[in-house]
Structures are given as C-alpha cells and as structure tokens.
C-alpha cells in the first residue's frame, strides 16, 4: 500500500531547511522502515509554501522526480537520490512564500483543504516559524493531518530550545563582526552592527557574545543612550582603539519607539517591517562620544549561505523525528529540542507569544551585554 505525504517550507528562508527536507524524504522512503510499518510513503514536495497549496491546479499533475517545477506546477515527487546533496545547501529547494490562507477577508484555506484531498495527501509536513506553523495549527483544527518542524533565525518559537537556522545566522554575525574589526582598528572607529531578531534578542545576544562585542542591545531591555556612551568612552580611555556595538532590529532607547521601515508589511500576516535602529544609534553615539561611528545592517546576509554543522545535524534529527510521528500517525504535533533531547509536543496555540531572552539569567542590564557570571 502506498500513502502520500506532502512537505513544504514557509516564511523567511534560512539554512537548515534543505537538511530537514532531505531527512524526511530519506527517513520515510527507507525500505526497511516500510517493511516494519507495512506500507510505503511517497513524498510530494509542495512549491512555495502555503501558496503552493492555494495555487495547485489538478489540471497540472504531480511532476515525477527530478523534474523542475514549471510556471503552473506546484507539486512533484521527491526521492532520496534527488535530495542526497540538498543538506549542503542554504535556503530551500522547494521555495517559500508568506502566503496566509487565513487572512481576514481573503480566506483561501478551503482551497488548501480541498487541494490536500485532490493531491491524495495522508499528511503534511510543514517547516517554518510562527506564521507557517500557526497556519498548520489552524489547518489541523480543520481536519488536515499535520506534522511541524520549527525554523527561524530569530530563535523565538515557543516550546523548543532550538529552531533551524539560528546557529548559522549566529556564525554569520560573528564572521561579519570579525571583518569589521579590521577597518575599525585601522581607523579607530566605533561600529554599530544591526542584526535581525524582530522582538527578541536571541540572535543579537548569541552573536554578540560569540564575537566579543562589549555592548549588546536587545528588545527585551530598552537601553539608556547616556549609559552606553559612558561605557564606550571608558573603553577608549582604557586604550581600546575601537568598539563594536551589536543591536537587534527590535531594540529601542528607553522612552523611544522601535525603528520601522513600514508600518505593515505586505506578507499577509500584517507584521511591521523592523529595521533602522543601527543608523539611528549611529547618530546618537557619534553625538555622545565624539567618535567616528559607522553602522552596518546585516539584513538578509544572516539568512544566506550553507548551513553550519549544527544546523545540518539538527535538520537531520528534526526530519527523522517528523518521520517517526508520521509512521505512528501522531498528527497535530511539532518536533522540538528540549533539555538536550529531541521530542514532540502538540502544536502550540500561542505561537504569536514569542519566547523572550531570559534576561535575569543571561543579560547584564547595567553593562548592556552578556552577563559576566554564569554559575549559580
């Protein structure tokens, strides 16, 4: 007997998605596992996330393995021999989008449910962040069999200690800060490096800590500009030729507002587009310190490149775990990493409630940086 499972990636791309896709395909199509469960899985890759399940047209059949998606094609069979090298690549070979089938006034979720039936999908594996998995949770309530894998470089999903893409993004922050040190040292400059992270500072704090940045500003703790200026002046008086300030895009000065490029994005989820605090902080610090200040917004550089070793490992483990859930028929669940172990939980209903940095344990409010004590 043959059963079909669909797989898609949604939201912002990041390293770790392709390793997860490969692992799911390899796990569920394994011949030995098929003998144990008594049936075979056929994996169908869905192009461009939820958009693919909205746009799917049965007049254009599911493509065979190794055939490129055409302009009207949104589904094709994936086999192990095709995905064997995917884990070395960043981004997502299936494509992504920020389509919201539950957008108020423009609901297309009935089409998604209908197309899942037309495709003959027994289940669906959704890999994504709060928006993608939030849609999966709602579809589960509509009767769709869903299994979820968490990803986001922001690291802010509830229920899991790790999300795919975070560690590679941290590596990018460190690499770029290391490059900036050369010009900062040469010209005795102060550099402000703006990272992603939206309303949480997981990426900025991890990246700043690894890079040895003396000042790290995160959304969870509004910063006092005067105090930051004092810290940087003191470093100069101590003989430091330069300083690096890492700031998360959602950080803000005490009593100030978050920097937004646009009040509402066009992604279907009505999120404000954050960004620009680095440039704002550059002007503040130049005025306060009298030093030459430059700002760099890392932006989408943090999403790019090949996945690091940790994201390849986690992508593989998450994919294997998703396969386990499929075999057991345990739907409506999300694979998670907790206390050093792979597990699964019911897809959280509160994904909009992001996981914040544990400030008391990890952050120094007075020095605006990583804590200098770690033992209890």
Residues serving a catalytic function are 154
Say whether 209 sits in a helix, a strand or coil: helix
Closest CA to 247 of 288, 285, 273: 285
Residue pair 168/195 in contact (Cβ under 8 Å)? The answer is no
Residue pair 22/83 in contact (Cβ under 8 Å)? The answer is yes
Backbone angles phi, psi at 293, to 5 degrees: -120, 140
- Residues sharing a CB contact under 8 Å with residue 371, sequence separation 6 or more, in sequence order: 361, 362, 363, 364
Residue with tokens 């075999």: 327
Closest CA to 23 of 317, 308, 341, 305: 317
Q: Which two tokens stand for residue 100?
A: 């919201």
Q: What is the largest CA-CA distance in the chain?
A: 74
Cα–Cα distances (Å) from 326 to 38, 84, 100, in that order, read 13, 21, 25
Report H helices in the chain: 17-28, 31-37, 50-55, 80-83, 109-118, 130-141, 166-187, 202-211, 225-237, 277-289, 309-328, 359-362
Which value, in Å, is the radius of gyration of the alpha carbons in the chain? 22
Instruction: Report how far residue 54's alpha carbon sits from residue 224's, in angstroms, rounded to the nearest whole number.
Output: 47
Closest CA to 311 of 16, 111, 59: 16
Say whether 162 sits in a helix, a strand or coil: coil
């Amino acid at each position: 007997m043959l059963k079909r499972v669909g797989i898609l990636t949604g939201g912002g791309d990041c390293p770790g998605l392709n390793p997860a896709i490969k692992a799911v395909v390899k796990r569920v199509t394994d011949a030995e596992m098929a003998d144990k469960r008594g049936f075979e899985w056929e994996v169908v890759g869905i192009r461009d996330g939820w958009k693919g399940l909205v746009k799917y047209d049965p007049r254009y059949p599911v493509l065979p393995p190794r055939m490129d998606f055409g302009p009207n094609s949104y589904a094709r069979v994936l086999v192990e021999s095709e995905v064997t090298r995917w884990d070395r690549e960043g981004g997502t070979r299936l494509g992504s989008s920020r389509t919201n089938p539950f957008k108020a006034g423009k609901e297309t979720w009935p089409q998604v449910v209908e197309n899942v039936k037309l495709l003959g999908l027994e289940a669906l594996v959704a890999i994504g962040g709060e928006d993608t998995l939030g849609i999966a949770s709602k579809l589960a309530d509509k009767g769709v069999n869903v299994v979820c894998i968490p990803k986001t470089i922001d690291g802010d999903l509830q229920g899991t200690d790790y999300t795919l893409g975070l560690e590679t993004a941290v590596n990018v922050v460190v690499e770029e800060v290391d490059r900036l040190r050369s010009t900062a040292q040469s010209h005795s400059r102060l550099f402000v490096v703006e990272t992603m992270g939206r309303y949480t500072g997981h990426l900025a704090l991890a990246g700043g800590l690894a890079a040895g940045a003396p000042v790290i500003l995160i959304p969870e703790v509004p910063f006092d500009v005067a105090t930051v200026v004092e810290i940087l002046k003191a470093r100069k008086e101590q003989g430091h030729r330069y300083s690096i300030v890492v700031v998360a895009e959602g950080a803000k000065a005490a009593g100030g507002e978050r920097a937004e490029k646009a009040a509402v994005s066009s992604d279907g989820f009505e999120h404000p587009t954050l960004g620009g605090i680095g440039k704002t902080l550059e002007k503040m610090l130049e005025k306060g310190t009298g030093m030459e200040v430059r700002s760099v917004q890392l932006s989408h550089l943090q999403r790019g490149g090949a996945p690091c070793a940790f994201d390849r490992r986690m992508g593989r483990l998450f994919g294997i775990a998703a396969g386990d859930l499929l075999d057991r028929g345990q739907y409506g669940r999300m694979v998670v990493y907790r206390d050093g172990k792979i597990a699964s939980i019911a897809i959280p209903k509160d994904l909009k409630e992001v996981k914040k940095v544990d400030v008391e344990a990890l952050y120094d409010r007075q020095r605006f940086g990583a804590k200098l004590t770690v033992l209890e």
